[in-house]
Structure 1
Amino acid sequence: MRPFLGTFILLGILSFLISCNNGNNSEKKDKSTTKQEKIDSSAIKKSKADSISKAKKEKKVNYNQIGFKLMKSESLSGLRLDLSSKKVSEIIGEPEEKTDPALWGADGLYHQSWTYTEKGISLDIVGKEGERQTLSRITITEPCTFKTKRKIGIGSRVDEVRTAYQEEIDPASSSASSIAAGTHYGGVIFGIENKKVNQIFIGIAAE
């Protein structure tokens, strides 16, 4: 009877050890599977992020077109391009200084500068001789308090400009001293000094 009992106990111990070993192997397998799933998930996310980044780089953005559209729609406290010279005078009064109209060969139009020194405003008025004159360029500096439609004015921070015009800013046309929403061939250009706006220009800067 005793030999049989001893054998029975031994078999029980062996069965228990085998069961524990199988459990450990199963647990290790589960952990290994979970770890692999996490690695696969991370790889998929990275692949998607890389694809999006690549797509953005490959996407061709026409900043000239964007800038031209922006400069036509943007304004500074009601002052916008294509306003008649009469309307400009109604909004901000007569300038302190006017230059004589000068013919520009680049566009075949007569250009006249209107300067409002005390208000920090400089305008370019253009038109054909004897015809309606309109506003073609706007430049403001301190102490002008005018703001764009997106609430950017003299003294605004660089990060505020980048947030407000993130879709229109052309990196190739921008630098540490200026941010171009559009390009120099049409758009809104923000002069930067000490990480703040010190000048805003609307129009075509380059001919």
Structure 2
Amino acid sequence: MRSRSRSIGLRALLIALAFTLSIAPGLAQQRQPSDPDAQPSGYVIGPEDVLDIAVWNNDKISRAVPVRPDGKISLPLLNDVQAAGLTPVQLRQALTQALTTFVPNPEVSVIVREVHSVKVTVIGQVKLPGRYELKSRATVLDLLAMAGGFTDYAARDSIVVLRQEGATTRRIPFEFDKLTAKSGAKNGGQENFCVAPGDIILVP
């Protein structure tokens, strides 16, 4: 009797295991995507960036889209949607609200696949003047290094960062020698601040 009971129990265990293995792939496919808010939300989307828009269980809307020069993206049902100037979280919220008219309880995620909108220009007395596309945060020193450093005629204490703020252009002095001096930081010298999209670094 004990042997027969063990045989029945083993058979039931094998059947249960086979059933679990048979439905596991289906469960994996039905699993919803991870929380889109888990990605860094501080980045502000700009023109020429490429975004991954995913709507759960809706392949017709989900796609990779570029941000046009006018700051908008094009999606089925919604047509043109403003994306530039928003963070991924803000755009996700806007798309979720807009899609409720067409899709019941839409689950939307927005991921920045490619960054192309952060560009800074370095001009003047540097070895490699030009416009540089940044993939991550960078400082004035980083940009000067990317531009190959100074020429022999550079006025290193007269560098200016031109930053557009609305209709006005702000001039931010950058005194290289104060920053690199050993006592500069202790005496409240020049700070190596981060550049912003659209900045122009002028080295006279």
Work out which of the two has the higher radius of gyration on C-alpha atoms and give 1 or 2.
1
Q: TM-score, normalised by structure 2?
A: 0.25
Of Structure 1 and Structure 2, which has the larger fraction of its residues in helix? 1
